[in-house]
Structure 1
């Protein structure tokens, strides 16, 4: 089904669950059973018992965090797919800036403070839908044995989950509208021109100029080590490795220095 996408639909249908086994599969199930209002639907859970991160890594999402799953109808151009992932990092940067938190965005869409992860995003393609999971360490204690931080501890005060969700969605609507406006100017065969979204990412991020380790799965693959030199208009990161340029469109990044 082809349809016109609108940024105003993000968060128009919002639902809360005290406890769920997994949130992203629930978002997909609801997109299938209730498709009319599924584009932009946001689910929030107080507790997620068996969450799954990148590459299926299991984790527990305790009360006190902000745990969201969104469903988006995927009627986007293939050349802007990297920007679609990027705007969730921009919304996290918007959220941190609004709250006054000294946090930065690490490519592609992680929020961190001095290498300690505050928030992350997972985007999965399911049929005609994009299911997006967003996890923010808010008032919860960060998981032990993992380089993580919470916004409450960073700011020295507790935060309202509802208010922080609203701030995040305001930012997401703003950047999603910019993405839709950019796509409206492109044909399926056009290259993505220099744009506001990548300029905003450079403003929020501390990735460029860093020595980094990159792999699709840092836990299972030997990483490539190089320098993050530039961000292309389509969101691709350019690494310099032994004097050669290596473009990466997705994957995991670790700052070395």
Structure 2
């Protein structure tokens, strides 16, 4: 299907992009890698009056070390994330999750921040960014503000980005030395996650000192399994000790029921994946 007609703008700076978004409001859509927006346009699920292409803005493309955190600009592609030694050393969980995104062609075009702004709960990057306490940097005409991932994801395809605002980066605290694993369940390769579990673990002498667990496609937005995280702390990194705790990871969630599985089935799978992910992250 051919999209409806729209105007196209390619600003050279963030300031120009924000001015365009403020001018056109809800009638404008942002294009970075296009891997989420273009299918929507082709299916005519959205008909913006103007598309603002930020892919040429150089200041958005970097991945930089900010001391205790890594900043990933809105123009950085999935492949940039995978190629970054900063990410592989300090944000191993994110690196593992991004490696599960679609195929090489999409990873070379799509952007991490574009996926976060799209906010599909079945996407692979929301849960690890949430688990790693990521912070979204949002720019508008009134200036810049930072929103934690817990507040950023509002609902399916809905975030804290307001009209006239642009997500310019995500800043994620370093988790150097943490074990991690992203477990994803799909029926066919390159599919959106039916269920996914992102786990990061700091272990000391075979015991879990701290755990962070994010859930993919277990609700209308990425979720944090806070109760399971608390229960894991102080436990030995063995299957016997962790199995019953991880089995409860789906409690209180509201996963969808569709052709890929009913809600109860997804809760069961989440428990299985959580056990695998936490054990792998803990080195068990």
Q: TM-score range by the shorter chain?
A: 0.3 to 0.5
- TM-score (normalised: structure 2): 0.30
Considering fraction of residues, name the structure with more strand: 1
Greater fraction of residues in helix = 2
TM score, norm. by length of structure 1: 0.32
- Larger C-alpha radius of gyration, 1 or 2? 2
